[in-house]
Amino acid sequence: MIHTGITSLGWTATVVFVASYFCSRPSLLRGLQMLGALLWVIYGIVIGAAPVVVANVLVFSAAAWTRWRPRSVGAT
């Protein structure tokens, strides 16, 4: 039962992350990327995979930065 839940978490993270690429609004794309990366971080912690955790902390950070970074004057 626990194995099924862990596997489901990994597949859910995959679906969320892939779905983000079908978003037309950049802020929604970044938000889904952040959610997918957060799910991958949790998955990585549960299975004890440090590379999965580190990679997705970086993905989460990049998505958060590009979603909330200050815009320069005149930028669209």
Question: What pLDDT score does 75 carry?
Answer: 57
Q: What is the pLDDT of residues 50-68, one digit of tens each?
A: 999 999 999 999 999 998 8
| Number of CB atoms found within 10 A of residue 73's CB | 5
* Average pLDDT taken over every residue of the chain: 91
Question: What pLDDT score does 68 carry?
Answer: 84
The residue extents of the domains of the chain are 2-68
Rounded Cα gap, residues 75 and 16, in angstroms: 29
